[in-house]
Structure 1
Amino acid sequence: MKSIASLLRDHGLLARGPQPVDAASVSLTGADCDSRFAGPDHLFVCKGAAFKPAYLEQALEAGCVAYLCDDSRADELAAVAPHVPALVVRDDGLRTAMALSSAACWGRPDGRLEVVGITGTKGKSTTAYMLRAILDACHDTPQSAIMGSIDIFDGIEDAESVNTTPEPPDLWRHIANAAQSGLPYLTMEVSSQALKYERVVGLGLDVACFLNIGRDHISPREHPSFEDYFASKLRIFEQARVAVVNLGSDHADEVLAAARRCKRVVTFLAGEDAADADVWCRDPRPSDSGIRLFVHTPSWEGEVEVGMAGLFNAENALCAIAACEVLDIGQEQVKAGLAHVRVPGRMELLRTSDPNITGIVDYAHNKLSYQRFFASVAKEYPGREVIAVFGAPGGKAYERRRELPEEASRWADFVVYTEEDPAHDPVEEICAQMAAATPEGQDFEVIVNRPHAIGRAVERAFQSPRGAVVCLLAKGDETRQHEGDSFVPCETDATLFERAVAARTARTDRG
């Protein structure tokens, strides 16, 4: 407690504490912000508009021995737990204090492994899985922990993710678990929200990768403007040793200017005019197992097979390869990892008994990802009818309700609007807004029940005289639907597609 109080005081955050005075000698071995997962000898962080004093009581019952709160809550919580040591910080400093305290309580484990942080509007998860596949390749046991929007693996815990980048107490617990497990690497997605709201303050990044930037997450609950969103993304370079930058990104000059605060900058670019980049490729093309590209790096060059469909994944692969240049990972390990990479719910191909009917599951959920996804589908499946099933989330990123119907209509022959984590917004209202934004002449239906929507898409596909590609977007491999304040179990899009195909085949056989 004494050292953490001193740390917070040095940052101008401490308002009172530690209280009582003799609390300075209390030892802390971790930090928590969810009373359901609180642990012995931990610091409990009292945060959030929905916080209740009962949560602190639950955390203390679970073994927490001290708490951190802001000045506005101090008196109320002192009455609930009068003899419990407390650190009280400025009302505007709780998020920063939570990050700094969590790092200290968990023993600053980031110094015991190499950490790669990846940010961007599109491709973070895929790039993180590609890098993880490379780092694990040629080894009998896992080498890299991973944190991102799909799942978390830290050597001890292996679970589906809630946030792309966890809150600081959870973030540092996962880092501590990875270090304790002897994993030499951590590959993590770093969201704009994490950067804006201080979740990763104090975390040292050995490599910070910047993939791209596009308009997304603009809403009263996220970023008020594109400028705020972009500025939040650029903060990743404030805590990185080496920057990896995509020269093909929009606003690349501004990204490079921010990246130069790092000790070293490594650039990458996909395309014919890419030779000015440190890592580049030419001629990405479809292959039987995914895509193939000729890659040049400062240390090697040659053909690389990527075990994922989607020509846009050439850019994600180059980012992972550029990070490997920094980490001194050689050509053979890079090739072995990329050849066998699989990203749950990313460009997942679903075959049927009819070679002209294919399903694709992908997490594409914003305008930039739609542009890349559909352009790749059009090139890889020429002549086929394109059927798209998607929705838009509730409570955030409101611009998607307009942009996604407009972008999908440039490519798709038939669109079905359905549920996608509506939270507190009525699904019918979200779908109605998307329907209103649909360009005139576009064929579409609204089916709010996602299993029924996918069933309708499958039926349409088998009726198409020219074959079809059924694109199941945004939910990927997720097994939960955000409804109200709850995350309700649901089946994956792949499962729903396969069931709909089987039911359709059974009906045909009976007929």
Structure 2
Amino acid sequence: METTTLTALARTLDDAGILASVTPGADVAVSGASCDSRSVRPGDLFVCKGAAFRPEFLAGAVASGASAYLCDAARSDELAQAAPGVPALATTELRRAMALVSAEAFGHPDRDLPIVGITGTKGKTTTAYMLRAIVDAARGERSCGMIGTVETYDGTADEPSRNTTPEAPDLWRHLASARDSRLSALVMEVSSQALKYDRTYGVGLDVACFLNIGLDHISPVEHADFEDYFASKLKIFSQCETAVVNLDSDHVDRVLAEASRARRALTFGIGRPEADAWADGLAASEEGVSFTLHLDGWERAVSLPFPGDFSVSNALAAALAAHLLGIGPDDIVAGLAAARVPGRMEFYRSRDRQLTAIVDYAHNRLAFESLLSAVSGAFSGAQVISVFGAVGGKAPERRRDLPEIAARFSDYVVLTSDDPWTEDPLDICREMERALPAGFPHEVVIDREAAARRAFELAEGRRSVVLLLAKGHETYQHTREGFVPCASDCELARRGVEAHDARSAAVTGTPGATA
């Protein structure tokens, strides 16, 4: 176990110019960090953070074995009274200090572990799983760590994620576990919020992939405007050795200018021979998309179990990152063919191939347009029924954008609940309803399970595609009552296809089976 001391941590903050004070004459060993009193381990430095932080949290952390604590200078006197005699550091910049001391407390595991960070408005999760599949194909199953929206795997922990990118103490703990477990690499999704609020500050990335940028996450509780969102994303290049940039991204000139901050910058793109990794010969089908991959003087045929040009773009990013990790072409091709992503472009097909259900996490304009246009092209002649809602309390532009795009590529829309938070889901649906073209076929079914059932009812009688959008693998709804359990869209898709197969079996007299 790596250890440091409170004195060493104080020196780190002092060197950064953000140390306010340190308990005089006190020095203790520190072997980790935590900002959650419920997960403190003996020897941890406990971080007192958040507007809702209460002194009793500190008392609980000390009782669990925290050896010292870090706090904002404005609260140092208050917390000293709540925990008399406990060694402490006070800082003028708590978030940055939290990242710096966490890195030190866990022994800078990023120095001994290849790490790839991925950011973008859409595609982070899919690209991360593609890269993970490639690393596992090359180095052995479960050899690649993952920190992202769906799950966290560090060689020790294997659990659902709470945030796309965790707070700094948790992030560094996972990196340390991956190092200690001798994983061959770790891939992490890097959100704009993580970059803006220094959750990833100081993490040395071997590779930073920039996928794309679109209008999203603009609200009082996220980013004030597009500039704040974009600038936050671009911060990833300040902490990487090699930048990997999508030449097909909007605002690519600005992205490339920022990428020049890295030691080197490489590029990828579709139909772009000037890029370091590029694709041509794209061929779409109901099974996915195939293409020819060109990288470092070689070319290979690739088949992806996902639809759309955007999937090819994600695959190029993963392939180039894998190449930078020293992985060869055959393992890259095998990994891409085997990649699967929970709740992302998951296909459920009926026995008679008349019904296809697709579950995807698409929840913003860029993702909606990419996915729905790809489905419309791949499933020519099929009826497309889209089921979706919009979140409450943030990203209000989605209530206009999503119905507008769905109407362009769908035959029928079922509007439903999607994490309404403090708002009435009916109000959100009515707002989306007004964004649909006059007379467009649709209905509002607030209960998400009932909305899915209704979509599958509408699909009967002709070849159809039912799209269940925005919730993916999630098994809860964020409502006024808190996080309320619900069936995942994956489960709803299985039920819909099973019901179709059962009805078909009853008509034809053949046994029913799930797709």
Global fold match (TM > 0.5):
yes
Residue matched to 2:110? 110
Residue matched to 2:209? 209
**4+ residue stretches of structure 1 with deviation over 6 A?**
507-511
Matches for 1:133-172 after TM superposition, within 5 Å: 133-172=133-172
Query: 2:135 touches 2:144 (CA, 8 Å); kept in 1?
Result: yes
TM-score norm. by structure 2 comes to 0.94
RMSD of aligned residue pairs (Cα, Å): 1.7
From 310, 313, 316, the equivalent of 1:312 is: 310
**Distance in 2 between the 1:269 and 1:113 partners?**
28
TM-score norm. by structure 1 comes to 0.95
Residue matched to 2:279? 281
Q: Does 1:9 align with 2:14?
A: yes
Residue matched to 2:25? 22
Residue matched to 1:481? 477
Secondary structure of the residue aligned to 2:409 is coil
**Distance in 2 between the 1:306 and 1:506 partners?**
30
Report the CA distance between 1:140 and its aligned residue: 3.7
Cα distance change on mapping 1:410 and 1:275 into 2, 3 Å: same
Cα distance change on mapping 1:87 and 1:485 into 2, 3 Å: farther
**Distance in 2 between the 1:81 and 1:428 partners?**
48
Query: 1:308 touches 1:341 (CA, 8 Å); kept in 2?
Result: no
Residue matched to 2:378? 380
Report the CA distance between 1:59 and its aligned residue: 1.4
Query: 2:128 touches 2:318 (CA, 8 Å); kept in 1?
Result: yes
Query: 1:40-67 CA deviation, whole Å, 9 max, x = no partner?
Result: 1101111111111121112112111211
**Distance in 1 between the 2:182 and 2:68 partners?**
29
**Distance in 2 between the 1:478 and 1:100 partners?**
33
Residue matched to 2:292? 294
Report the CA distance between 1:111 and its aligned residue: 0.7
Query: 2:364 touches 2:402 (CA, 8 Å); kept in 1?
Result: yes
Give the counterpart letter for 1:251 in structure 2.
H
**Distance in 2 between the 1:221 and 1:88 partners?**
27
Residue matched to 1:241? 241
Report the CA distance between 1:12 and its aligned residue: 1.6
Cα distance change on mapping 1:295 and 1:504 into 2, 3 Å: closer
Residue matched to 1:183? 183
Query: 2:286 touches 2:378 (CA, 8 Å); kept in 1?
Result: no
Residue matched to 2:487? 491
Cα distance change on mapping 1:352 and 1:504 into 2, 3 Å: closer
Query: 1:8-60 CA deviation, whole Å, 9 max, x = no partner?
Result: 1121211121x1x232x211111111112111110111111111112111211
Report the CA distance between 1:501 and its aligned residue: 4.1
Residue matched to 2:513? none
After TM superposition, the structure 1 stretch with the greater mean CA deviation from structure 2, 50-59 or 218-227, is 50-59
Q: Which runs of 5+ in 1 are unaligned?
A: none
After TM superposition, the structure 1 stretch with the greater mean CA deviation from structure 2, 307-316 or 34-43, is 307-316
Report the CA distance between 1:506 and its aligned residue: 5.3
Give the counterpart letter for 1:66 in structure 2.
A
Secondary structure of the residue aligned to 1:353 is coil
Residue matched to 1:46? 48
Residue matched to 2:77? 75
Q: Does 1:130 align with 2:137?
A: no
Residue matched to 2:354? 356
**Distance in 2 between the 1:431 and 1:225 partners?**
25
Number of matched pairs: 502
**Distance in 2 between the 1:77 and 1:490 partners?**
40
Query: 2:139 touches 2:184 (CA, 8 Å); kept in 1?
Result: no
Query: 1:418 touches 1:453 (CA, 8 Å); kept in 2?
Result: yes
Secondary structure of the residue aligned to 1:434 is helix
Residue matched to 1:33? 35
Q: Which runs of 5+ in 2 are unaligned?
A: 1-5, 508-515
Query: 2:358 touches 2:493 (CA, 8 Å); kept in 1?
Result: no
Q: Does 1:339 align with 2:337?
A: yes
Cα distance change on mapping 1:412 and 1:97 into 2, 3 Å: same
Secondary structure of the residue aligned to 2:186 is strand
Residue matched to 1:58? 60
Query: 1:275-304 CA deviation, whole Å, 9 max, x = no partner?
Result: 111111102213575321111111411211
Report the CA distance between 1:369 and its aligned residue: 0.5
Report the CA distance between 1:426 and its aligned residue: 2.3
Query: 2:70 touches 2:88 (CA, 8 Å); kept in 1?
Result: yes
Percentage of identical aligned residues: 52
**Distance in 2 between the 1:156 and 1:348 partners?**
27
**Distance in 1 between the 2:160 and 2:435 partners?**
33
Secondary structure of the residue aligned to 1:312 is helix
After TM superposition, the structure 1 stretch with the greater mean CA deviation from structure 2, 239-248 or 292-301, is 292-301
Report the CA distance between 1:494 and its aligned residue: 2.0
